Structures are given as structure tokens and as C-alpha cells.
Structure 1
Amino acid sequence: MTTASLEYIAAGGNRHSSAADWAPSLLAFGAGNNIALWDPENERQNGISALLAGHEDAVNAVRIYENDGKRVIISGSADKTIRIWTATNETRSGFEETQRLTEHSNSINTLAVFPEHDIFVSGSADASVNVWHMQDSTAKLIQTISLKPRYLPLALALTSLTNGDIVLAVAGTSNNIQLYVRAKSGQNFELQATLSGHEGWIRSLDFTKESDSPESDILLASASQDKYIRLWRFQQTAGQATEAPDTIDELSATSAKKSLSNKAHQVGSSSTKYAVTFEALLVGHEDWIYTARWEPKGSSRSPPALLSASADNSLSVWHSDAASGLWICHSRMGEISSQKGSTTATGSAGGFWIGLWQPQGRSVVSLGRTGSWRRWNFDENSDMWLQQVGISGHVQEVQGIAWSPRGDYLLSTSSDQTTRLISEWKRRDKSSWHEMARPQIHGYDLNCIDAITDIQFISGADEKLLRVFNKPKAVDNLISKLSGTSSTVSGDLPDAANIPVLGLSNKAMAAADDDDQPNGHSNGDTDEREAVDPASVVHKSTLDLDHPPHEDHLARHTLWPEHEKLYGHGYEISAVATSNDKSLVATACKASSLDHAVIRLYETKEWREVKPPLTAHSLSVTSLAFSPDDRFLLSVGRDRQWAVFERDAHENDTYKLFSSNPKGHSRMILDCCWAPASAGHVFATAGRDKSVKLWRLSESTFETVSTITTGTSVTAVAFSSDLETSSFVLAYGCDDGSVHVAKISPETLAVHDTLALDPGIVHCKTINALRWRPRLTQGGEKIASLMQLASASDDFSIRIYNIT
């Protein structure tokens, strides 16, 4: 019997300041259309445990709602719905969707929860805020607030006053914060005050009590695109509103001359009035501020600290100075501005979109533009925040994956314009998967990838050319050290690579001793266009790690130097395959005519094109594959046909058309693969016509032997390359994200056992690639007992399954 379990998930977080929340032992965040579940404090550090699928568009807002020991995740999406996910022991993920709310007519942008009063609120791009009553994990709409003057809410916050009144703060695409109050005995929220002062859209709001005292003042923090955070004090009063004394921090005097008015607004019911005054202006960030969050209750500080995340690549912790009362930036994490580099290609992170406190306030996380989570723990001995291992993943469709020939690592490439390398981190009794390198950071969407050798890969992009990359020594040392595999790099390869400030190609460079300032290039003199950004100079100590690299390290120090560019195609590259003897690569591009629907071959010694190109197709070639003995090259395309080219008996780099079938499938063919050599010459094709067909060589052509029919289009197929049983294993993935594993008889090619992987562990969108991991060997002995299958999907995720 075949069984499957999930080994690893990689997915990047959505760039939206409301798209994550952290509760004890669970951090939930939006990842594409899914909600990713991660426990940052898990000892094994195995990353994302599950993805909750259901939304049909990007998840913009996530909140964890806990009441009476019950845990619920509330999510809002660009698909105009809010979904309630209730904790359960019945599913693998630990949650199931129990309710879908469709009352909004546009994208949901923000959520705020208030479990103590059984309510939560949602803000939507339909310029309304909905108030919901929550009972037994079921939500019911109790009020809709239309925002006037009309603006789109981007931030919401809730708090209660001492008499039981509830205050709702709303802000977004205007410069003002609106305060709505619901009296303890009332039913609806009513607008009572408007706070002005900001000069840009407001991205984040958060309330806290200044101390544990029941009569404590309340503080509201608002973060804006004007680069400032404003603090507002809610103070219980007796009597009428007055002009408050001008007690603005002196820090703010030069920055906010326009808004030095400190009028006291009043909120609350007739019995208990609160005066709302401007308390402080926090100055220090150099770019838009996306989130400002108060330290969780229970900390010893009074007032609590404030955490802010900004597009200037920094995370700041603000404290009120006990002596002067001024708010100062006590700690700053992230990147120093001068080290950003001129572009994201030279290592600039592109800003932090989310900053969150751990529920006890001992650590913080932030989400960056690249979809990666960084994590810091506070060390009391050194009084410093120390960076820990985070998680990362693609933030657009994952288009291609490829295992290294030995199976040491997995390469993935995506429409987010990056190529990433994933490998195992083994230590004592633990093992987990992590991104170990980011070989390619590109300016075009990347479409396909294949490993040539253990130290070289090739990738194709929308830029119409292919690039070949070599593995640098630093990455090789890191992988062999952390995963316990032997080194593959010879002595003549460079230490590392970087991208010149005005360039597009990764240049090889030598690592410097810690006290050196090298010119950074291994090829001597450089002109101004190849000047090295000083921030990207790599020192040898930087490359010597005993843990998976952090995000800033990945983006700057783990690039692979570019070895060659391959020209010839006229449109976006669609497919690439390497021969098993590593002597040839076959490539194809998107095409709508015979002229461009050709297959080009390049030999890998001098990287010259083998002419003429191979012709057979009339539309885009979607997949290429060499047979295990390299005798045949198989191609399939959108013109519904497959073609097999045979190697010339005398010239190893020449192929000629051997056989083709213009009606291989009744609709376009999307993928193909060859069976292991022991099957003879057998290949599989996957089509939009909801079928997988198996073809076997019969004299001068290939004939269909068996067909597997499915309920939806088949978009990816992969034969296992090595098996210790008497049957072959074929994996196929479908348009709906499902993955199936079929056992196939070598003699008859009949399917005698099919396993559909559990819906709780598969993707929710089209599978773009499936690849079996080559079995790791040591001295001829197989050291991996189980089979592992990697999959890449349009849902932005990569998954690795254990198949037994």
C-alpha cells in the first residue's frame, strides 16, 4: 500500500500590513490565496506546518480570535469574503472552514478583533466597516458603517473604556483617524471625534492601556505613509473639553509645525468622558511606516514598548524615557540605510511590511518584500535583539523545479524573478528544510530550470535568453556542512558572486579577509559600470555559518556567478532540459508560428548552438525530456502533438526527427517524461484533455499502450527514476492542485494502484512541475530509504512529500 505524508512547505508571505497575526504557538499569515500556519518557536524549526486553502484571491487580513479556550482564525481576502476557520482535531492542519461571510462588496483590507466583548470588525475597499458579533465561532453582522467622507479603511483598532463603552478607531486612505463609540447599553457605533495631524495615508492603528490599573489612560498609536508615528492619549475627564496644554515632544517641533494644535477631543458616554489629546510624534523612520504594534500585555514596562515596521528596511522598538517622558527609539533591527544597495538586485530588502510581537514580548518577527520572515529574540544578558533562523518562500507562481543530480538540494524558479535553493539542515536528532541560497535575482519572470551537474544549472526567463550559473565555494561549503553531504566543487571556482550596481549579470568575486577592502572582482580592473557596491563585499567570516542563512544574507551573499548566456530564441523561454550525459541542453520558447516553435540544442563544453534547430511543432513547446540513454529527445506542445528526435549514431550532438504524432492528445499537451531505462523506451504525456497516456517504442514509432483518465486537466507528470519494487511509480499533478501517484506494471504498463494524495496536503492551484528526488548514495549504498516527490504550483508554494 502506498502512503504519502508532507515533509516540507515553502511559501512567501503576502505584502499587506494586516496579513498576519501571532498567538501562542501559532503565527498565521496570508500566502497567496492561502493562510500559512507556522510556529516560530517550534524546536525542530520545520517551518510552515499547513496551508489553509479556500480563498479565491490574495489573503489581505488575518486575525486569531481566542475566547473561552476556543481558537478561531478570521481571514479577509481580495475575493470580497471573510472566512472563519475553527480549530479542530479532524483535519491535518488543525483548522477547518466553518463560515463564509459575503456581506462586503469589495476586497477586505483589514480586521480587528475584541474577544472580551464578542465582536470583531472588518474594513473593505467598498468604503464600509462591518461590525460582527461572534458567538460559538459563528459570526453575525450587527452594523455597517459607511465611511463619510468616503475613504477606504486600511487600519482598525478596538478598545474599551472603564464604563464598558467600546471605542473603534478607523483610518486609511485619508489623513484623519475617526473614532466611533458604542455605549455599554447601546447597539451601534457612532462617530464622536476625528483626529487630524498625519499628512499621508494611515496604515496601522493599535490601542493599549498605559498601565494595569483599571483607571489607566489609553494610548493609541497610528503609523502613516508620512514616515511618522503619532501617539494619542485617552484620559478620563470631569467636565467640558478644553485646550490641552501644549506638551508636544520637543523632538517633533521641527517636523510637525503644521499640526502643533493640541485640541482635546471628547469621546465616551455622558457618564464617563475621555479627553483625546496628541501625545507624541515619533521621528526616525525614513520611509512609509506599515505597522505599529504595542507590546503584549503582561510586560513589566509601563507604558509598554511600541514596535514599528517600515519600508526603510528597519524594525524599531520605541520606549518612553522615564526621566524626560520623551519617546525614543531604543532598538533598531533590520538593515542600515547606507547598506541597502542601490536596487533590490544588489541586496535591498525592499522594506518591511509587517512587524509582530511574540505573545509574551520576548521576540519579534518581520515580513519583507521578498516574502521572507525574519525573527529576533531579546537576549537579556547582552540587552540586544539577536537574529534567529526565519522562513522564506516564493511570492509569485512557482514555474519550475529541479533536483541536483545527487539529490543534495532542490532548485526552484518563479515569476517573482528569483531562483532559490532548498536543502536539509541536519543536526543531532533533528532535520528540517530551509532555503540555503538564492542563486539568481533577476529582472524578468523566470519560467524554467534544470540542473546540468551538481555545480551548474540553467534557467530560462521572459528575457528570451538562457543563463548558466556555477556554484560558488561558499554555498557548496554551507550545504555540505549543514546537510552532511560531501563537497562537489573543485578548486577553480570563485568564493561568491554579486551584481554590479548597474549590471544584470552575477559577477564572480573572491571573498576578502576580514580586514581587507577588495575591489570585489576576480577579473582585475573594472570600469565604472561594474563598480561594486561596498555593501556587497563579502568577507570570509560572513560565509562561514553554522545555521541556514538569514534573509539579508540570502539576498546579498548567496548568488551564483553567471557562466554563460545562450541566445537564439525570439520569445520568452518556455522549456529547458539537460541530457543525462550532461553534454547537451535542449531549449524552446513561446511561439505562435513555425519559425519560433523550434527546439535549439546547445553543447555544454563551449556553449555553442548545434544547428540547425529541430522542427516539428507549430505552436509553443511546453516540455522537453531526454530518454535515460539519451538516444531520444521528446518534445510536447500546445499544438497537441508530441515529437521524438533520435540521436545520430556518429555525431552525439545531432538529433533528427524519428517519429511524431500530430494528434497525441485531443487538446494541448502540457508535460512529458520518460520511464526508467529498465522499462525500455517508454514515455508519458499529460494533456488538457484530462488524461495521461503511456507510449512504448514499437519498431519505427511509439504507440499508446495505456491511458489514465482524470477529472481535470493534467499539467505535470514524473516517473520515479529508481525503485526497489517490481513496478514503476508515476506521479501526475492536475489543474486543480491535486497530486496522484500510480503504480505501473513494467511489462504491460497497466495501472494497478493509484493513490490520490490527501486534499489537506496538496496545492489549491495548478501544478506546474513534479520531480522525484534522486536517491542519495554514499559509496554505492542508498542512504535514503523513502521516496521524496517535490511539487511546484501556481499557489506560490513548493512542497516535498514522503512517499512510502
Structure 2
Amino acid sequence: MDIHKSKKNELSLSHLLLQFTACAVCSGHSGPVCAVDAMSLSSQLLVASASSDSTVKLWTCSSDTAECLQTVSFGSGFMMDVSLALLPGSRVPVLACGGDDSRVHLYVQLNGQFQRLLTLTGHEDWVRCVEWATKDGELWLASCSQDCLIRVWRLFAKTATESNQQTEAVIKMKENVFQVSGDEFAVTLETVLAGHENRVYGVHWQPPCVKGDLVEQPLKLLSASMDKTMILWGPEEDSGMWVELVRVGEVGGNTLGFYGCQMSPDGFMILAHAFHGALHLWHCDRNQGEWRPSVVISGHFGAVQDLSWDPEGEFIITVGSDQTTRLFTPWTRKGCSEITWHEISRPQIHGYDMQCLTMVGRFQFVSGADEKVLRVFKAPRNFVENFANISCTSVEKLLGCNEIADLPEGASTPALGLSNKAVFQGDLASQSPQQDSEDFNSLSEQYKESYFQPLKLIEPPTEDDLLQNTLWPEVQKLYGHGFEMFCLASNSARTVVASACKASKPEHAAILLWSTTSWKQLQSLPCHSLTVTQMAFSPNGHLLLAVSRDRTWSLWRQGNPDSDTEASFSLYANTSKDTAVHTRIIWSCDWSSDSKYFVTSSRDKKVIIWGHRVSGVSVGECEGESVTPCSSVLDVGDSATAVSICPYLCSDQSFLLAVGLENGKIVLYKWRPLEDLSSGSDWSKCGETDTCQSHTLTVKRLHWRPRPGRAGHGGNEERAWVQLASAGADHVVKIFNIKISAL
């Protein structure tokens, strides 16, 4: 099993990070820590931390210990950011703090304690970020505020000559002078940068690009604002006046702007952290000097509630409580052999937290949210064409010529609406740019529709395009449930969809069945008394399994699956409070590929496989009462929140199961049916995720790829591999590669 290779394929920033081990823990704040900065000081690390408990703490950290050096209290106020540096020409630390009093406070370490020497005023709202930079033996401090302004301060050492000189004929900025150990220092306001139209939340100096002892580039300052732009500032070579050098940002979308920023040491890459959780990357063409958006890792910024592979196993679709539906697929970067996963479409950007979805075709899915309505989406032509380009296949192979011709070009979101409206080829010509009129005669003129612009992609889209130009048209709404949607399932033929909502009474816990051809409600299946937590159709499509908060499961059999008409389902078997084996909520369920067995996992830490005692007989071929446990009770040690059976057998013909736990760990087990459970153990543990690979919160869903091999790879040896996708409450989706031939 090569589960460690999954670290390359996680759809989150964690795949970019190394595994760190904490060498010291700074514990002492009574509230959330909002800012941290550190610097090396002799053999120790000096750390400053700001917290909402209205304090800033200074720590000294050595090999494996951390000691609180000092606590600075700010009464009823609190500091938003802190930054550490050394005074010019000395080893004396200086600390800058910016807070909700609209001021920047400077502290200097004297006799082992930090003392406040200066308070810099000028900002008219909260100071959100402060950062030091060193240039030519001087310190430069940038501070940004919610007043939309950036102030740049210069701290330098005053010489005796400068102190005695008369400067009556020279206009100079006011100097704030202070002394430290006999040396005199001054702080002046260098410039005020006004260019943003909304709150400025982040500033970052270009890191020094050092060759030998020479710092080659001039000072440059990057700022990030809630006006959805980032500006690169710098002094003019001749006049020294600070001007705007570059402005980048997103246009349109439903975001709130940028929260933070970083710049590469060479100054050719800019990274922004958006308020809604996404990263935005720009790079500068070294030859043309033009800044362009670049491909960057992306993912959910809320709990990932559900996921599904497409029937061919080439991409996955996920939904999350960040109110989005996202589509990820593997991509090979030009000139690089490594395959990475990227988001290539955001089919649905919603106004409610998303809870569930199921695929009902290669490019069609149904999703449910906290709005009591099911919505059906179908991929537009522009997505299919771009997916073909990115995956290096033909459109005709994905869809027939007639089918692709009938598809809309894309989708747009109407003003103040939740439904994605289809955009056809003829609509593109009639889309007029937003008028610059200041007079609004109607509501539609005040709230403009987000117009769709066709994309021609050979690589994953940027965040700007994901927000606006990758939506899928909504083709149907399904009404019938009285409460928030909770789970969905579809049969293997993609002809029937089962749905269930949150419920505290039996009448609300009924499962509804829908036809995917007419989108009409076929049936209501009452049985459970509380929320149905997950459902699964058997691979042969004859049976529907449901598990519930009421600690029971129910099994429904289709009357005549071979009939041309849509046959109804009837209750075939179920457990009651008297016969139930599970004693807590049953969270998850799944079927074996031969439809002979199904598995349930529960909060009671138990995983159980069910089926007929008659050897070789599938569930549904005998009387329902004979459906009993076929395995011993597996205790996994924690609440089993997700379970999935691999559709392919191990080398010893045993079944491979993945179990997701509430603590974020995923455990692999092999199960072999035994005629007599007392003759030996039918379960064997064959692997688990380590700390780096595990989710940090509850595993919400597990799904095996429906085909052997690894998505995006080719070759005959691929049949030795299987892939497992997991969704977590920690906002992360992970893809694991497992060598099943070695199990």
C-alpha cells in the first residue's frame, strides 16, 4: 500500500507543506491569537503574539522550551498586528503594535523589558497590519488601516553632527526622537499612500534578494485591500516620491476583497489571500513586464459535506458549507510530468450551505442545501470543451455531436437570484457592458447580472474565472421536502434519485424517489423516525439502503427492475429498536460490488457487514428477515463517521474497506467472509493514515474511484492501483493512492 503518496494529491494547501514537529508551545493567552511575529536573537528565538484578550506577550524560545518574557496589557483595547526588528546598528529589539485605537505603538527592549517609547498617530481607523523592513541601515515601517490609507515611517539613528546642525533653510518632516543606551534615534513619517477605495487589511515589503552581502532591489511595498485590488508601491528613482507601480485584482464576483498578501523575493510573483478563503496568484512576464493571473491551488473554505466521482472516474465534484459546489480533476503542467489536482469549475455558488450531491450522468448532478429544494445542473458546452482540452481528449469522445450542439454556452447568475440561468450563443452577442450611468431607474439596473464570458482553456482557470465564468446552468428544481436537505443517492443506471432531509418526526423522515427523465416524484418511502443520514443503491440497482439517526437501517427492493415502467420500491428488511445491533447514530453505509453485502458504521464505534447466511446468495434473493450480520463487530476505537467498500478485491480475494473516524483518521481493513465466525478473525487491519495524512476534523464522506488506476495516469500497471477520495470537516478533500495488488 502506497498511502503516503497521497501527500502529493491533497486538494488543500497541506500538500505544499512539510511535516513539522512542535519544539515548544507558547501557552498563556486567554483568547484567540490574531497575530504572531518572531526574530532570531543570539541563541534564542524572540516571539511576539497578539491576542483578543487585550494583551501582547513576548516569549523566548530555545530548543524545546518556551518562556513568557513579558505581558503587555492594553486594557479594553487590543492589537491587530505585531512586528519585530532590531534598531539600526544595534542588537536591541524594537516592537511595533497596531491596534483598534488607530495608533501604532513602538516598544524597545531596555534592561530585559519592553517599554513603550513612542506612539505614532495619523490613522483614523483600526490599524490592521504593521511590518518592518531594513534598507541602507535604516528601518522602514509600513502600517495600513481601515481608513483606506497606508503610512510609511522611517526610523534611523541620529548622528551628533545631525543633532547640532541648524536646518532652518530646509523643510523637514517632524521627527519623533528617543534615546536608547545613549544612542539617539528618530522616527519620521515618510509618506502617506492613498490609492485604495476600501479598507486596507495587509501590507508586505518585498523580501531582500541577497547575493553575497549586497541587497539588489529598491524598496517595494505590496498592499491588499477589501476593494478587491492589490497595489505594488515604490519610490521613483529620480524624485524619491512613492507612487503606484502595479495594480492587480479581480473584477466582479461575489467576494469581499483581499485579506492578506505576500511577494516573492525576486518581485515577480504576488500572492493574495481573499476574504472568502481563496488564493490569487499573479506573475510578471520578465520579458514584457506584464502581470498575469496564474494557476494556484484552491479548495473549500468551509466543511466539505459530500463528494462524488463522475461515472468514468476522471473528476470529482464536492459540496461544502461555504455555499459552493466545486469540480476537481488531475492536470499535468506543461513541461512537467507530475500530475496535480486542480479546481476547473465552480458549477454552483449558492446562498445556502450545501449539504449533499449525487451524479446522474457524466456531466449532470443533483445538489441539496439548507433550503428544502433540490437543484439539477447540467454542464454547458464551454465546460465540456475546456475539460476536453485540459484532459487532452476530444469533445466527441466525451459527448456525441448532437448532444454537444444542444447545450447552452454557459451560465450566469441573475441579480439577487440563486438560480443559474443558461446562456446560449445568441445571448452572448446581446450582452452589453455595464453602463456608466449614475441614474438607476429600476432594481435590475442597480444590481447588474454577472455576465458569462466564454473561456478557452488549456490549463485550470484562475480564481477570477472560477467565480464568474464556470457556472453550470440549472435545469430543474425539485420540491417536496419540508426541511433542510441532508443526503442524496442515485442508482447505477442514473434513472432514479433518492433524497432525504433533516427530520425529528417520522412524517418528515420519509425518503423521496425522483425520476431523472421526467424529474417527477415517484414515491415516498416512510420507515425511519429521525433523519436519514446516508443512502446507497446496490450496484445492480435492485435495492436501496438507508441508515438513520434512529439507530436503524432499512432496505427497499424494487418490484420489477426489468420492467419498462418505473417499478416501485417496497420495504424488504429493516432493523428495529429491538433487533438493532448499533446503539448510536448510524452515520454511513455502502455496498460491496457484487451486491451480496452491505456495511454500516456508527457513532458507537462499530462497523458491521450485513448479508444472507446462505453462501453465494445476494441480498434481496431471499426473505428479508434473513438479512443478518455476516461479520463480527469491528470496534474502530472512535465514532465511525464514514465507510466505503472498494469495488475491487484484494489479491487474496478479500474485501477492502475504508473507515473514516471523527478524529480525522482513515483506517483500511480487509474483510473475508467466514462460514463460522468462531473459527477465526474475519477482520484484519492493513493500514491507516498518519498525522500528516489524516484530516484534522471529522471525516464526512469516503468514496472509491469507480475504475481501477489513478485518475490522470496511464499504463498497464495502473490496474494495481485504486484511489480513495475523502471529504473532511476541516475544509479539505484528499485523494489517496493505494496499491491494492500489494494487499
The TM-score with structure 1 as length reference comes to 0.81
C-alpha distance in structure 2 between counterparts of 1:201 and 1:495, whole Å: 46
The structure-2 alpha-carbon separation of the partners of 1:231 and 1:499, relative to structure 1 and needing over 3 Å to count, comes to same
Q: Does 1:410 align with 2:322?
A: no
Q: Does 1:518 align with 2:441?
A: no
> Counterpart in 2 of 1:227?
148
1:244, 1:280 → 2: CA distance?
Answer: 22
Name which of 695, 698, 702 aligns with 1:763.
695
Aligned position for 1:132: 59
Q: Which amino acid aligns with 2:108?
A: V
Alignment of 1:760-799 (within 5 A): 760-775=692-707, 785-799=720-734
Partner AA of 1:190 in structure 2: Q
| 3-state SS of paired residue (1:231) | strand
Once residues 738 and 708 of structure 2 are traced to their aligned partners in structure 1, the CA distance between those partners, rounded to angstroms, is 15
Q: How does 1:663-674 map to 2 (within 5 A)?
A: 663-674=580-591
Q: Tell me whether 1:557 sits opposite 2:469 in the alignment.
A: yes
1:711 — aligned with what?
637
1:10·1:394 contact (CA, 8 Å) conserved in 2? no
CA contact (8 A) 2:415 2:450 kept: no
CA distance in 2, matches of 1:465, 1:715: 25
CA shift in 2, pair 1:159/1:267, >3 Å: farther
Compared CA separation, residues 583 and 781, structure 1 to 2 (3 A)? farther
Pairing partner for 1:321 from 232, 236, 244: 236
Describe the shift of the 1:174–1:265 C-alpha distance in structure 2 as closer, same or farther (beyond 3 A).
same
> Does structure 2 retain, via aligned residues, the 8 Å contact 1:512–1:539?
no
Q: Are residue 203 (structure 1) and residue 128 (structure 2) matched?
A: yes
8 Å contact 2:209–2:217 — kept in the other structure?
A: no
Rg (Cα) greater in structure: 2
Separation in 1, partners of 2:363, 2:716: 22
**Matched residue, 2:623:** 700
Partner amino acid for 2:544?
Answer: L
TM-superposed CA distance for 1:476, in Å, is 1.6
Letter in 2 for 1:453: G
1:505 equivalent to 2:419? Answer: yes
SS in 1 for 2:388: helix
Distance in 2, Cα, partners of 1:627 & 1:236: 77
Distance 2:295 2:412 in 1: 23
What code does the residue aligned with 1:323 have?
Answer: D
Q: Deviations over 1:499-523 (max 9, x none)?
A: 0122210111135899x45369xxx
Instruction: Judge conservation of contact 2:630–2:673 (CA < 8 Å) in 1.
Output: no
Render the CA deviation track for 1:597-651: whole Å, top value 9, x for unaligned: 100001011100013x101000000011111111111111000110111111255
Show the 5 A alignment for 1:166-177: 166-177=93-104
Where structure 1 has 5 or more consecutive residues not aligned to the other structure, the ranges are 13-35, 38-47, 51-92, 249-261, 341-346, 521-526
Matches within 5 A, 1:111-126: 111-116=36-41, 118-126=45-53
SS in 2 for 1:477: helix
Residue 255 of structure 1: aligned partner: none
Contact 2:52 2:78 in 1 (8 A): yes
Distance 1:538 1:464, change over 3 A: closer
Q: Which residue does the alignment assign to 1:647?
A: 558
- The residue number in structure 1 matching 2:619 is none
Q: 1:469-527: CA deviations, max 9, x gaps?
A: 0011222222222223454342211121110122210111135899x45369xxxxxx9
More divergent stretch after superposition (638-647 vs 723-732):
723-732
Q: Tell whether 2:184 aligns with 1:278.
A: no
Q: What are the ranges of 5 or more consecutive residues in structure 2 without an aligned counterpart?
A: 434-440, 614-621
Map 1:175-574 onto structure 2 (within 5 A): 175-183=102-110, 186-211=111-136, 216-237=137-158, 238=160, 239=163, 263-269=174-180, 271-298=182-209, 303-335=218-250, 339-340=251-252, 347-427=253-333, 429-487=337-395, 488-489=398-399, 490-491=403-404, 492-510=406-424, 516-518=429-431, 536-540=450-454, 543-574=455-486
Contact 1:241/1:264 (<8 A) preserved: no
Distance in 2 separating the partners of 1:780 and 1:528: 59
TM-fit CA distance, 1:585: 0.2
Match of 1:607 in 2: 519
| Structure 1 SS opposite 2:69 | strand
Residue 268 of structure 1: CA displacement?
3.4
SS at match of 1:100: coil
Distance 1:246 1:500 in 2: 60
User: 1:746 Cα shift?
Assistant: 5.2
Q: Give the C-alpha shift of residue 744 in structure 1.
A: 2.1
Q: Structure 1 residues 443 and 700, CA, compared in 2 at 3 Å: closer, same or farther?
A: same
Rounded to whole Å, the distance in 2 between the matches of 1:401 and 1:124 is: 37
- TM-superposed CA distance for 1:174, in Å, is 1.4
Return the alpha-carbon distance in structure 2 between the equivalents of residues 624 and 668 of structure 1.
14
Matched-pair contact (CA < 8 Å) for 1:192–1:266: no
Deviation at 1:392, TM superposition (A): 0.7
**Equivalent residue, structure 1, for 2:618:** none
Q: How many residues align?
A: 688
Look up the match of 1:721.
647
CA separation of 1:304 and 1:596: change in aligned 2, threshold 3 A: same
Per the normalisation by structure 2, the TM-score is: 0.87
1:636-680 CA deviation, whole Å, 9 max, x = no partner? 100011011111125534111111101241111111111112xx4
Q: CA deviation at 1:106?
A: 1.4
Give the deviation of 1:723 after TM superposition. Answer: 3.9
| CA spacing shift, 1:241–1:772, aligned 2, 3 Å | farther
Report the residue type matching 1:764 in the other structure.
Answer: T
